[in-house]
Structure 1
Amino acid sequence: MIDDALVAGAEEAVRKAVAEEVMPRWRQLAAHEVVEKNGPHDLVTVADRLAEEHLTRSLTELLPGSVVVGEEAVHADPAGYEALRGPAPVWIVDPVDGTRQFVRGEGGFCTLVALARHGELLASWTYAPVQELMAVARHRGGALLNGDVLRAGSPEPGKILEVATSHPDFTTDAQKQALLGLWTPEAAPRPCGSAGLEYLNVARGAVDAVAFSWENAWDHAAGLLLVAEAGGASSTIAGEPFRLAGGNALPFTAARDAETVRRILSLLQRGS
């Protein structure tokens, strides 16, 4: 199902949706085009909605019989998330990841698309238009950034681990307690920006790990495959693989290599 033509077609679809629906509205949004969904840190704009509609049309045309699980459509109808459990190939779409940054006119946002079937990630696309970065990953096919092979590498021995973590607004008390385990001489946690760009930072070795406490597939699917295909690893706090359809033990981590995952899990479990 994943051939070169499909990978290239999906990349073109992402680039076109962003060029037509997102970038013309960057730094051009009117006040009425920005709405809070679940609080001041969870925003949606007209660009999010139109880009998702654009991608829904183009991606399902590219792969007949496929369906889309998109952030904005699921917000309108939560039952749509169940498609992740169904038999059809699923495009998982976050039209603007880092909407707060987009609204502020900053460049730290991206568009995330992943293709999955039966809970297995097959390919992903991470596009940061302002930074002119396109990362593509294929299951067992490696990861590329702007056409160059992407490798996460490993932290230097004894290095203080730089870890991007969930914003406190998106954590329960128990999850906050677990994340507090990262506040040790071994790690330097900081709040994350765009989740998709933080995963890209792990995949390129610029950040050692992420530790997140929410599990919406559109935020994580593309990045988890990107990190894995760049040589990294991931795990929930229970030591289990992350499940796209949900029901994961949280927090979870993705890191540059398996040893770093082990170190992060140890700190999270210590904080629990």
Structure 2
Amino acid sequence: MIKDNETIEEFLDRHAVDVEEAVRKAAAQEIMPRWRRLAEHEVDLKSGPHDLVTDADRKAELYLTEALTALLPGSVVVGEEAVHANPTSYEAVRGEAPVWIVDPVDGTRQFVHGDTGFCTLVALARRGVLYASWTFAPARHQFATAVRGKGAHLDGERLRAGSPEPGRDLRVATSHPDFTTDEQKRSLLALRTEGVAPRPCGSAGLEYLAVARGESDATAFSWEAAWDHAAGLLLVEEAGGTHLTRAGEPFRITGGNTLPFTAARDAATAQRVAGLLSEGA
């Protein structure tokens, strides 16, 4: 818990490892025992055929909600499944209390299909500022962390996104068209141009990790849900990358962004992708 007059940074110095342990336990107890073993009654649809939820999502989020708020009394959780049940709870992202932003299973579709491309995402923020993030891909045995001002790491090794190699097409992961408006579709179509190689995205958290590792050059996403983006945005930033909306502004987890937006390995790539998105709108 935060002691009297203690800052979030000081809290993280003492408890970042405890958050990691909570994320690992949630995966070990609630997610991995159900991977490739889901019964039909453990999978439901939310808003459409691509928007799935499982018992693993629900139970892992409940576990993390209890564990994280116990570590930091007075904090609140904005989790994907709780917000689905009570949309007004999303307002806590804009509030004064420290907020844990949680996606218990990012890439639920991949999880349901038995693929390894899913992860658990946790970020800690306050007043719209991201302080730390945890990205755990348990089926791939990968754990990435980021702390504001202290860098990003994957399994203990420092991440540095670097810059794309000159002369090759930019590798950009883009939103699925089913989740875009007509205007956003036009914007994303502008990426189909010389020097850019767009492809459909998988788990948002793992796409951010790919950018932070320098395996992918950028993302181009058309939705704002903080649980999909918060952890990855800080991971990319602390690896040396940056993010911009179509309007040329940094993405805000509190909302009100001009979409689509990009997170990229370096400033030049972000400006290139954001410029194309703007031209296409």
Alignment TM class, shorter chain as reference: over 0.9
Match status 1:154 vs 2:163: yes
- 2:201 aligns to what? 192
Cα displacement (A) at 1:253: 0.1
1:75 equivalent in structure 2: 84
Unaligned runs of 5+ in 1: none
Where do residues 55-94 of structure 1 align in structure 2 (5 Å cutoff)? 55-94=64-103
Alignment of 1:39-188 (within 5 A): 39-188=48-197
Return the alpha-carbon distance in structure 2 between the equivalents of residues 246 and 32 of structure 1.
34
TM-score by length of 2: 0.96
| Deviation of 1:243 (Å) | 1.3
Tell me the equivalent position of 2:216: 207
CA displacement at 1:199 relative to structure 2: 0.2
- In the alignment, the residues of structure 1 paired with residue 280 and residue 147 of structure 2 have an alpha-carbon distance, to the nearest angstrom, of 35
Question: Structure 2 counterpart of 1:53, which letter?
Answer: L
Query: 1:159 Cα shift?
Result: 2.1
- The answer on 1:241 being equivalent to 2:268 is no
Give the one of 266, 269, 281 matched to 1:257.
266
Q: In structure 1, the residue corresponding to 2:207 is in which secondary structure?
A: helix
Output the amino acid matched with 1:202.
V
Give 1:115 deviation, angstroms.
0.2
- Which of 26, 33, 47 matches 1:24? 33
Give the match for residue 5 of structure 2. Answer: none
Deviation at residue 224 of structure 1 after TM alignment: 0.2
SS at match of 2:125: strand
The Cα RMSD (Å) is 0.7
Give, in angstroms, the shift of residue 242 of structure 1: 1.1
Report the residue type matching 1:118 in the other structure: R
Number of aligned residue pairs: 272
CA distance in 1, matches of 2:254, 2:82: 16
- Aligned AA for 2:117? G
Question: Shift of the alpha carbon at 1:38?
Answer: 1.0
| Equivalent residue letter for 2:266 | D
User: If the length of structure 1 is used for normalisation, what is the TM-score?
Assistant: 0.99
SS of 2:220's equivalent in the other structure is strand
Deviations 1:220-263 (A, max 9, x none): 00000000000000011011111112111000000000000011
8 Å contact from structure 1 (residues 81, 245) kept in 2: no
In 2, the alpha carbon distance for the partners of 1:265 and 1:54 equals: 38
State the match for 2:4 in structure 1. Answer: none
| 1:60 aligned partner, one-letter code | T
Distance of 1:115 and 1:266 partners within structure 2: 30
Rounded to whole Å, the distance in 2 between the matches of 1:252 and 1:159 is 22
SS in 2 for 1:130: helix
Q: Is the counterpart of residue 34 in structure 1 residue 43 in structure 2?
A: yes
SS of the residue aligned with 2:143?
Answer: strand
1:5 is displaced (CA, Å) by: 2.4
Q: Secondary structure at the match of 1:116?
A: strand
Distance 2:189 2:42 in 1: 37
Cα distance in structure 1, aligned partners of 2:138 and 2:94: 31
1:266 aligns with 2:275: yes
Counterpart of 1:154, as a letter, is: S
